[in-house]
Amino acid sequence: MPFKKLLTSLVEAVPGASGAILADWEGEAVEQHTHGDAFEIKVAAAHWGILLSHFKGLHHKYETGPVQQSVITTDQQHVIVGAVGEDYALVMTMNRNALPLLALNKFRETAALLHKEIY
């Protein structure tokens, strides 16, 4: 499975991206590509995956449909977290100079390719 290749392509396609990781429903890393600390992106995936699970539950309360992706901005970075099917999460981290909408477009393309590979 070309998970590593897809994640590497995602990070390299987005100026300012620092890493991307595919994690399973328990927050365990399946594959990753990062310019930083490998352990740090694994921890990020676990935490952002928990948040994604909470977001996924919102559509039961608000009739908005299932959450697919979310862009979160902190003081230090942008993070995109999104579902890949029911059992996986894709997380991408970027510095604050990155363009989140460009990143979101590439993120969605990669999530669709990962979905095809997994399912």
> Contact, 99 vs 16, CB < 8 A?
yes
Confidence (pLDDT) at 6: 98
Q: Can you tell me the distance from the alpha carbon of 96 to that of 118, in angstroms, rounded to the nearest whole number?
A: 31
**What pLDDT band is residue 1 in, cutting at 50, 70 and 90?**
low
Confidence (pLDDT) at 10: 98
Confidence (pLDDT) at 13: 97
pLDDT tens-place string over residues 12-26: 999 999 999 999 988
Report the percentage of the chain scoring pLDDT > 90. Answer: 74
Q: Are strands 77-84 and 29-34 parallel, antiparallel or unpaired?
A: unpaired
Reported pTM: 0.91
Residue 32, classed as helix, strand or coil, is strand
Distance of CA 1 to the CA centre of its chain: 18
* 45 CB-contact burial (10 Å; exposed 0-12 / middle 13-18 / buried 19+): buried
> Contact, 88 vs 119, CB < 8 A?
no
